[in-house]
Amino acid sequence: MSYPAKANVAVETEASLGTNSLFQQPWWLDAVAPGAWGAVEVSRDGRVVARLPYVTEKRLRLRGLSMPPLTQTLGPWLAPSEGKQTGQLARQKELMTELIAGLPPHDFFLQRFHYSISNWLPFYWSGFEQTTRYTYVIEPLDDLDLVWAEFQSNARREIRKAQKRVAVRTDLDVERFLDINTLSFKRQGLELPYSRELVRRLDATCAERQARRMFFAEDGQGRLHAALYIVWNEDSAYYLMSGIDPDLRNSGAMSLLVWEALQFASTVTEKFDFEGSVIEPVERFFRSFGGALRPYFRITRFSRRMGFLMAGRDMTKALLGDSHVPGKRT
């Protein structure tokens, strides 16, 4: 399948919105957490210079600020600044401290910050804790021959194998995607970690903004082997969800869909973010496409009240379960 040099897409400029990723966009949060999100903003001279969106929830009578489904990162956005490094760090401390002070009362806080945020010290000084996570990012996308050359040999083999067995199509709807997405979880005895209605709502929102595409691998008998769902803005495309038919998982179809998604992404944005995974087989699959390893922070904080109410690790998991990469069980 070939794609034009520049696809006809409509993406919103985000610098003026105070965001460092698609996931901080108000329209995205309206779709995945309707009526449940807010944002702390810091202004200087009538201009927003720092912003921290959050989603409120209650678990076991505890109030939390956490991550909505299908959302890779939130965290703070800081307006770009110039000058000496010492001055920039001082400014980061000042703005982040104001953002933290503006958060509503909560018993627990859980967010994953975008990898562009490399300084979390102001959060540490305010009692937060950090765990490092990783994603793989391919950039730039303007030389697809170079992108292909960086693939591991087994990824290229899988793609060539799949090209002989399946065809890629992009004209099926979100219901067909959800059917095969569900199969990946069902194979492991798991339910979808998000509702079909939420995905339908998000899909309609992204489609309206020409900010999503689904890729399907179909064989000559009309069987769908795999499906991949990506979203994008002007800065990056994101591997959001996927699914594989367990009975057809050895065809190499998912590797082919990733390659097709990368070719398409090169026509609409600057880079491709696999969103990472702590699940070892998934990490191995993502790594095979040659992206650069990007560390990012998972930030948490617990109130004293929550400390009294928690009854060991099982309670912690119930409150802060973080499967991290919904829809990516390859």
Residue 148 class from Cβ within 10 Å (0-12 exposed, 13-18 middle, 19+ buried)? middle
pLDDT tens digits, 261-296: 999 999 999 999 998 888 899 999 999 999 999 999
Specify the residue for token string 């400029």: 13
CATH number for the domain running over 136-293? 3.40.630.30
* Identical fold, 15-133+295-320 and 136-293: yes
- Measure the CA–CA gap between 312 and 247, rounded to whole angstroms: 39
Chain segment 69-91, per-residue pLDDT in tens: 999 999 999 999 888 999 999 99
Query: In the prediction, which pLDDT does 11 show?
Result: 46
Residue spans of the domains in the chain: they are 15-133+295-320, 136-293
Give 221-254 pLDDT, tens digit per residue: 999 999 999 999 999 999 999 999 999 999 999 9
Mean pLDDT of the region 83-111: 96
Average pLDDT for residues 303-311, to the nearest whole number? 72
Q: CATH says 15-133+295-320 is which class?
A: alpha beta
- The whole model's pTM is what? 0.90
Predicted confidence band of residue 6 (pLDDT cuts 50, 70, 90): low
pLDDT at 107 over 60: yes
Give the side-chain half-sphere CA count within 13 A for 210. 10
Mean pLDDT to the nearest integer, 157-169: 98
DSSP bridge pairs for 300? 110, 129
The helix or strand, by DSSP H or E, that contains position 207, with its residue range, turns out to be helix 196-208
Is residue 54 within 8 Å of residue 65, measured between CB atoms? Answer: yes
